[in-house]
Amino acid sequence: MPPITRPNRSARRDAAEIVFFPLYRQVREGLLRRLAEGAWPAGAMLPSEQVLAAELGVSQGTVRKALDALVAENLLVRRQGRGTFVALHDESRILFQFFRLVSETGERQFPESRVLRVGAGRASAEERARLALAARARVVRIRRVRALAGRPCIAESIVLPASLFPGLIERPLPNNLYGLFAEKYGIGIARASERLRAVALGASDATLLGVAQGTPALAIDRLALAIDGRRVEWRVSHCLTTHVHYASDLT
User: Chunked in runs of 10, what are the mean pLDDT values of the chain (251 residues)?
Assistant: 53 45 85 81 87 90 91 84 81 60 75 94 97 97 93 95 96 89 87 94 96 96 92 96 80 58
Same domain membership, residue 52 and residue 112: no
> Across the chain, where does the E strand assignment appear?
10-14, 17-20, 76-79, 83-86, 101-103, 112-122, 138-148, 151-161, 189-200, 216-226, 231-239, 244-246
In a domain, 2, yes or no: no
Same domain membership, residue 185 and residue 236: yes
Same domain membership, residue 238 and residue 122: yes
Quick one: angle between helices 49-56 and 60-72, nearest 10? 120
Same domain membership, residue 143 and residue 57: no
Pick the last residue of a domain from 56, 86, 116.
86
pLDDT at 215: 97
Same domain membership, residue 156 and residue 35: no
pLDDT at 227: 87
List of residues 6+ apart from 148 with CB closer than 8 A: 101, 103, 109, 111, 112, 243, 244
Evaluate whether 246 touches 100 at the Cβ level (below 8 Å): yes
pLDDT at 240: 94
In the chain, how many domains are there?
2
Taking the CA atoms of residue 151, residue 118, residue 99 and residue 137 in that order, the dihedral angle to the nearest 10 degrees is -150
Same domain membership, residue 231 and residue 168: yes
In a domain, 171, yes or no: yes
User: Which of 238, 27, 33 has the alpha carbon at shortest distance from 143?
Assistant: 238
CA distance 118 to 140: 7
Same domain membership, residue 108 and residue 72: no
Pick the last residue of a domain from 64, 86, 108.
86
pLDDT at 136: 94
pLDDT at 200: 97
Residue 37 structural domain: 10-86
Cα–chain center distance at 163: 18
Same domain membership, residue 169 and residue 109: yes
In a domain, 237, yes or no: yes
Evaluate whether 31 touches 49 at the Cβ level (below 8 Å): no
In a domain, 3, yes or no: no
CATH of the domain at 29: 1.10.10.10
Pick the last residue of a domain from 39, 66, 86.
86
Q: Quick count: other Cβ atoms within 10 Å of Cβ 20?
A: 9
DSSP secondary structure of 99-146: --EEETT----PPEEEEEEEEEEEPPHHHHHHHT--TT-EEEEEEEEE
In a domain, 251, yes or no: no
In a domain, 194, yes or no: yes
